[in-house]
Amino acid sequence: MEVIPTGSLRLDIALCTGGIVPGQFVEISGPESSGKTTLCQHIIAEAQALGESCAFIDADRTFNPAYARRCGVDLNRLYLCEPRDMEQALAILEALVFSGGMAVIAIDSLTALVPKDELAAPLGADLASQSDNLLSMALRRLSGPIQQVQSTILFTRQTEAAPGAVYHDLAANLSRLGLKLHAGLRIELQPAGVLEIKGQIIGNQIIVRVLRNKIAPCFPTLKLDIVYNHGIFKLKEVLRLGVQSDVITQQGPAYFFQGQELGAGRKQTLQFLSQDTPVCEAIELIVRQKLLKSVRSSATEAGNGEMDGSRII
């Protein structure tokens, strides 16, 4: 595999690679209900579509099979487990990596992982640093093997409203920064509003920030639309980026692709694309190639790794 698509055409373009490069740790952070699990499931679905095996370590114990299936996940080819503590979750992760058979392994989420000693400790005991030490040790042990077997590890983490003062004491608490230091890709999600159709709320708008990308320069921000019970609204992205890149032309209310009329109006066009998969895939492929070429050219010209991608995405 060269890359693993994320399930969002906008995000694939923003990463400058067309997806996630295998063999690295990926941190997906954000507050509650910001789409972290949804993004993980779309990445797993894309990897499965490439014929790869994937695993989902459900530390939150909130895995919804019906919703995962709507995001495109093949449940018959998904390794799913619910660890009882942090040690077991990390042991399972290590076993899966060393097996060499998993392209994507998602841990959802780090916030819910609790060490054995903390579960057995009396209330009020201060064992906060133990989980950080365990995670930091696991990252160091697996950083080399995941590159050899080309496994991508997704970690979701719920962000805090106000980071504690301990994060500023780097000399004494380097283990708390373990994932930030080891992650090749860090993505932050923030709710930005709701999606409405005729006054009815159908989903959420999410602001995505690429905080770190070792492979390519980072874009400032982009937006994703997540529809309730369906996941990322990718068809809307294909249509919008297709028009922006002149792959799809518009004559009055009608949309055309290579002389073929897609529909009279946005709603009818989206319905057509949802039913005609080959046409939709052809449009996406051309848009992806065209915009990725443009993004890479901009990155080369920028030189310093800072560029404005808002015009494209």
- Pair (200, 185) in one structural domain: yes
Interval 181-227: pLDDT, tens = 899 999 999 999 999 888 899 999 999 999 999 888 776 689 999 99
CA distances from 108 to 4, 248, 265 (A): 19, 38, 39
- Pair (228, 250) in one structural domain: no
Radius of gyration from C-alpha coordinates of the chain: 21
Confidence band, pLDDT 50/70/90 cuts, at residue 313:
low
Rounded to two decimals, what is the model's pTM? 0.90
Q: Token pair 């009279």 is at which residue?
A: 264
Alpha carbons 87 and 130: distance in angstroms, whole number: 11
287-312: average pLDDT = 67
Q: Which domain holds residue 260?
A: 237-302
Higher pLDDT, 121 or 154: 154
Confidence band, pLDDT 50/70/90 cuts, at residue 126:
low
Q: Is 249 helix (H, G, I), strand (E, B) or coil?
A: strand
- Residue 310 belongs to a domain: no
- Pair (220, 246) in one structural domain: no
Helix 128-149 and helix 86-99: axis angle, to 10°?
A: 10
**Domain boundary pick from 178, 198, 232:** 232
**Domain boundary pick from 232, 260, 280:** 232
- Residue 130 belongs to a domain: yes
pLDDT at residue number 104: 97
Alpha carbons 40 and 110: distance in angstroms, whole number: 14
Amino acid 227 reads V
Is residue 278 within 8 Å of residue 257, measured between CB atoms? Answer: no
> Which helix (DSSP H) or strand (DSSP E) does residue 132 occupy?
helix 128-149
CATH (domain of 59): 3.40.50.300
Count of structural domains, the chain: 2
And the tokens for 106?
């998602």
Has residue 1 got a pLDDT over 70? no
And the tokens for 301?
């010209």
Higher pLDDT, 172 or 118: 118
Has residue 309 got a pLDDT over 70? no
pLDDT at residue number 270: 93
**Burial readout 186-215 (b: 16 or more C-beta within 10 A, e: otherwise):** bbbbbbeeebeeeeeebbbbbbbbbeebee
- Residue 62 belongs to a domain: yes
- Residue 312 belongs to a domain: no
Q: Token pair 């920064």 is at which residue?
A: 177
And the tokens for 71?
């995001």
CA distances from 194 to 28, 154, 205, 241 (A): 21, 26, 5, 21
Range in 46-60, 80-94, 141-155, 217-231 with the lowest mean pLDDT: 217-231
Average pLDDT score over the chain: 87
256-274: average pLDDT = 93
Length, in residues, of the chain: 313
Interval 135-194: pLDDT, tens = 999 999 999 999 999 999 999 998 865 555 445 554 444 555 788 889 999 999 999 999
